[in-house]
Amino acid sequence: MKKPRKKPASETSLERYDWSKAQRGRFAGKLRTPHVAFVRPELWEHFGSNEAINEALETLVRLGAVVTSKARRTG
């Protein structure tokens, strides 16, 4: 007599996976956490997007590097 065949678990069922070798938190240390900065609403009105704020900050950093290098030459 043949045994009745088991119906396969549905695609969304977690029973279809073998969890015997699973490790909790295996990649937790490798995740990067984003840095967050809060912008005041009155400043956001001037920029309007994250990209515009990042461009302005990059420009300030470049400008600061130029100013400090010129100050070293003259001082």
Whether residue 1 is predicted with pLDDT greater than 80 in this model: the reply is no
pLDDT tens for each residue of 53-70? 999 999 999 999 888 776
Contact criterion met (CB below 8 Å) for 15 and 9: yes
Domain residue spans of the chain: 50-75
Which pLDDT score, from 0 to 100, does residue 41 have? 92
pLDDT tens for each residue of 11-43? 888 888 888 998 988 888 887 777 888 999 999
Which pLDDT band holds residue 9 (cuts at 50, 70, 90)? confident
48: left (phi over 0), alpha (psi -120 to 50) or beta: left
How would DSSP label each residue in 39-69? --HHHHHHH-SHHHHHHHHHHHHHHHHHHHH
Which pLDDT score, from 0 to 100, does residue 18 have? 86
